Structure 1
Amino acid sequence: MHTIWKGSISFGLVNIPIKLHAATEDKDIKLRSLHKKCHTPIKYEKICPVCEEELSPDDIVKGYEATKGKFIVLEDEELNELKKATEEKAVEIVDFIKMTEIDPIYFNRSYYMSPNDTGLKAYSLLREALTETKKAGIAKIVMRSKEQLAVIRVYNNTLLMETIHFPDEVRSVEDVPNVPEKSDVSKKELETAILLIDQLTTKFEPEKYEDEYRSKLLKLIESKQAGKEVVTPKPKEKKTNVSDLMSALQASIDQSKPKNTKKPAAKRKTTGKKKAE
Structure 2
Amino acid sequence: MPRSLWKGAISFGLITIPVKLYGATEEKDISFKQVHPADGGKIKYKRVCEKCGEEVPYAEIGKGYEAPDGRMAVLSKEDLDTLPLSSAKSVDVVQFVDEDEIDPTYFEKTYVVEAEGPGAKPYVLLRDALVKTGKSAVVKVALRSRESLALVRPSGKVLLMHTMLWPDEVRDNDFAAPDGDIKASDAEVAMAEMFITQMEGTFNPGDFSDSYREALDAVVQAKLSGVAVEEKAEQPSSGGGEVVDLVAALKASVEAAKAKRAAAAGQGTDDKDDEKKKAAS
TM-score of Structure 1 vs Structure 2, range by shorter chain: 0.7 to 0.9
Distance in 2 (CA, whole Å) between partners of 1:187 and 1:177 is 24
- The CA deviation at 1:201 is 1.0
Query: Contact between 1:11 and 1:94, CA under 8 Å: does it hold in 2?
Result: no
Q: Which amino acid aligns with 2:169?
A: E
How many residue pairs end up in the alignment? 227
Task: Report the aligned-residue RMSD.
Answer: 1.8
TM-score in terms of structure 1 length: 0.77
Distance in 2 (CA, whole Å) between partners of 1:72 and 1:192 is 60
Distance in 2 (CA, whole Å) between partners of 1:183 and 1:125 is 52
Query: CA separation of 1:150/1:50 partners in 2, compared to 1, >3 Å: closer, same or farther?
Result: same
Distance in 1 (CA, whole Å) between partners of 2:100 and 2:226 is 52
The yes-or-no answer on 1:151 pairing with 2:187 is: no
SS of equivalent to 1:55? coil
* Matched residue, 1:49: 50
**1:123-142 residue CA offsets vs partner (Å, 9 max, x unmatched):** 11111111111110000001
* Matched residue, 2:250: none
- The CA deviation at 1:51 is 2.6
SS of equivalent to 1:92? strand
Q: Which moved more, 1:73-82 or 1:114-123?
A: 73-82
* Matched residue, 2:20: 19
Q: Which amino acid aligns with 1:104?
A: P
Q: Which amino acid aligns with 1:9?
A: I
Q: How does 1:116-135 map to 2 (within 5 A)?
A: 116-135=116-135
Q: How does 1:1-277 map to 2 (within 5 A)?
A: 1-82=2-83, 85-174=85-174, 176-177=175-176, 179-227=178-226
- The CA deviation at 1:103 is 1.1
Query: CA separation of 1:145/1:88 partners in 2, compared to 1, >3 Å: closer, same or farther?
Result: closer
Distance in 1 (CA, whole Å) between partners of 2:87 and 2:139 is 14
Q: Which amino acid aligns with 1:128?
A: D
Distance in 1 (CA, whole Å) between partners of 2:28 and 2:75 is 36
Q: Structure 2: any 5+ residue segments left out of the alignment?
A: 229-281
Q: Which amino acid aligns with 1:131?
A: V
Query: Contact between 2:88 and 2:143, CA under 8 Å: does it hold in 1?
Result: no
Percentage of matched positions with identical amino acids:
39
TM-score in terms of structure 2 length: 0.76
Larger helix proportion of the pair = 2
**1:75-132 residue CA offsets vs partner (Å, 9 max, x unmatched):** 121112226x534301011110111111111111000011112111111111111111
**1:9-63 residue CA offsets vs partner (Å, 9 max, x unmatched):** 1111011000000000111110111112221100122122343222113543211
- The CA deviation at 1:73 is 1.7
Query: Contact between 1:91 and 1:139, CA under 8 Å: does it hold in 2?
Result: yes
Distance in 2 (CA, whole Å) between partners of 1:122 and 1:212 is 43
- The CA deviation at 1:187 is 2.1
Query: Contact between 1:106 and 1:164, CA under 8 Å: does it hold in 2?
Result: yes
Distance in 1 (CA, whole Å) between partners of 2:95 and 2:135 is 10
Q: Structure 1: any 5+ residue segments left out of the alignment?
A: 230-277
* Larger of the two Rg values belongs to structure: 1
Distance in 2 (CA, whole Å) between partners of 1:86 and 1:58 is 27
Query: Contact between 1:9 and 1:91, CA under 8 Å: does it hold in 2?
Result: yes
SS of equivalent to 1:82? coil
Distance in 1 (CA, whole Å) between partners of 2:35 and 2:129 is 54
Q: Which amino acid aligns with 1:205?
A: N
Query: Contact between 1:8 and 1:16, CA under 8 Å: does it hold in 2?
Result: yes
Query: Contact between 1:6 and 1:89, CA under 8 Å: does it hold in 2?
Result: yes
Q: Which amino acid aligns with 2:165?
A: H
